[in-house]
Structure 1
């Protein structure tokens, strides 16, 4: 058995944050039913190859049904699904769920054990609650863009949707907590998070620099904001990361690069001094690292216990021996494309195993199976389809 096989999740999510939450349940065996509109919208399905690949990764291991929640009959069918479901996940704007009559207060009357989970841009209430929220907007308001990039170059977004993905993970964690609590209380509850909350949480030590010390963090490029020498250094054939935190590791670095005079240099004796005099220190280290190729330095530094590593492009990342060992690319059989690869799971268990995923479903691919489980005949399902309800 897969660890979450006993749970049924109704997936009303779109774009990225909600699907990121639901994917955790789909990957670990939950019966995930993706509910889509009967008629395909302009932005619903991926058009280009990049979007199609993303869709396969995001919606793998799910079943798909079509259902018009705006119709009375369609809503009644949804309520039938809710009766035996464990979780409903949505990422509409806060007021939409109430208009559709699929909010938690409504659904708990149908199934008191239901766990409803919501992701919004800015929260379910408050002055920004009705605004549309997207990842880059949350990155900006949440502070990430103010600390990303090189000093003096203006704000810079991160290269991945940090707010979307972290909100999805927080939503998944919240659902799991609610399911665990339900084992004691017998009652479901409403779980909600937002892109903004998640992004602010992800600011972590940068946030604490302000909250405790009233220090506004700025951009530091490839250098660590508070630790030196930690950053990107040139080599004879490219660049590499070095993270020599603390006095002991700094001394090891200096010995490996044959610059032991730096250890006793009064400008670099302590962590604060090395941060204060970072440009001069970085220049001296770069003079040495330029003399050998990247891999040679990585071998020498790792032997001495100095954290370091190459800077890889995406193709090189998936060719990396440790990434391959961790199975971060996993095969998937697609009915039209044959075997493709998607991103693997970042969690390992001693007993439970991440199974080979199933391709993302076509719209309504599982209508007969799911509606048949509600007792609807093939003729009735066909009739509902002709009427635009499914």
Structure 2
């Protein structure tokens, strides 16, 4: 770990150096969160650059997608197939804490930069590999993008209307899951190193990560011994728990226990439903949800979504309007929680980019750098190596 004078307002990862050999989404998402928290992330790229540099949307030739997940990093171009490129990597590793890569299993080994090649010389290094299916298993060598993992995990089969086709979740959730668990695994390994002085190898698979983020589906499959089916916008186990139509749109409501159900019945003007044997337990309410939905629809059909959410919320029942993505990102909650902050880009000017979501005491948010141009920091990084120190 780099020598850095830590103050009360220092970011938690100040002084940590990360060599980032990742491209596209899962790996860069992982290292972007580290950069948000103060790590010096050196993005090692080929002369072509990260694939995300060439995927839109674009503004003045710059990929905004690349900007979103490579904020706060530095870039250097190295030819990893050349002796000079590998020598520079070795020099950088002398002062690195973490290496993150998301090539297919075996690629880094062929380059002489695999974990086993580096462990003896760099025993304290945290080496993190992110891949579609992990370093072992029947599918280890298969290529994978988010939709492939969603398809193979069962998530797509469990998503969508009961009578409709399997549906992909509207975000690259498998990539994000892999990035999150890669960051989590890195932090665990760094904590362990603080006690033992030894680094560890961290093997993260997008498939494993997404599977672990489906606890309800896992419970029903592994313990209840059923095969979950699609339930659309309704909860598979509880009711009323989902979206329902109103006069001018839809609203979401979540009733998970008998107390809330009794209150809900009062709000919709049907207190007698509490005594109805069809709705006496959560399981029975879910079983008889179509009949319950009829009562809700009759009550909601003459009211706006705003009126409904106000009535339910004032009674302590979780309820919400259905916001668009744009409405959510521009909502007061996002602004007050500082889920985004501005960065200055040399070409694009002021950009509003996402920030990692965890709030730490005495750690100010914001004050970050934009994503780097390809090879923009090579001179500085190489100068640091020649001086034998770090910024």
Q: Which bracket does the TM-score occupy, shorter chain normalised? A: over 0.9
Residue 359 of structure 1, CA deviation: 0.8
SS in 2 for 1:261: helix
SS in 2 for 1:371: helix
Q: Tell me the distance in 1 between the aligned counterparts of 2:354 and 2:363.
A: 18
SS in 1 for 2:54: coil
Asked if the contact 1:166/1:199 (under 8 Å) is kept, the reply is: yes
Q: Tell me the distance in 2 between the aligned counterparts of 1:117 and 1:26.
A: 16
SS in 2 for 1:176: helix
SS in 2 for 1:193: strand
What do you get for the CA RMSD once the two structures are aligned?
1.7
Residues 217-236 of structure 1: pairs in structure 2 closer than 5 A: 217-236=228-247
Q: Tell me the distance in 2 between the aligned counterparts of 1:34 and 1:161.
A: 22
Q: Which runs of 5+ in 1 are unaligned?
A: 377-390
Match of residue 6 from structure 2: none
Q: Tell me the distance in 2 between the aligned counterparts of 1:119 and 1:355.
A: 27
Match of residue 192 from structure 1: 203
Moved more, 241-250 or 262-271: 262-271
Moved more, 327-336 or 97-106: 327-336
Match of residue 274 from structure 2: 263
Q: Tell me the distance in 2 between the aligned counterparts of 1:141 and 1:39.
A: 31
Asked if the contact 1:163/1:199 (under 8 Å) is kept, the reply is: yes
SS in 1 for 2:290: helix
Q: Number of paired residues?
A: 377
Asked if the contact 1:143/1:203 (under 8 Å) is kept, the reply is: no
Q: Which runs of 5+ in 2 are unaligned?
A: 1-9
SS in 1 for 2:157: helix
| CA offset digits 1:163-221 (Å, max 9, x no partner) | 11011111111111111111111111100110110111011121111111111111000
Residue 298 of structure 1, CA deviation: 1.4
Alignment partner of 1:38 out of 47, 50, 54: 47
Residue 222 of structure 1, CA deviation: 0.2
Residues 208-223 of structure 1: pairs in structure 2 closer than 5 A: 208-223=219-234
| CA offset digits 1:282-321 (Å, max 9, x no partner) | 1211111122111222121111110111111122112322
Does the alignment pair 1:317 with 2:328?
Answer: yes
Residues 34-183 of structure 1: pairs in structure 2 closer than 5 A: 34-40=43-49, 44-49=53-58, 52-183=63-194
Residue 46 of structure 1, CA deviation: 3.4
| CA offset digits 1:59-87 (Å, max 9, x no partner) | 00000111000001111111111111000
SS in 2 for 1:60: coil
Asked if the contact 1:56/1:359 (under 8 Å) is kept, the reply is: yes
TM-score (norm 1): 0.93
Asked if the contact 2:36/2:355 (under 8 Å) is kept, the reply is: no
Does the alignment pair 1:305 with 2:316?
Answer: yes
Match of residue 249 from structure 1: 260
Q: Tell me the distance in 2 between the aligned counterparts of 1:155 and 1:142.
A: 12
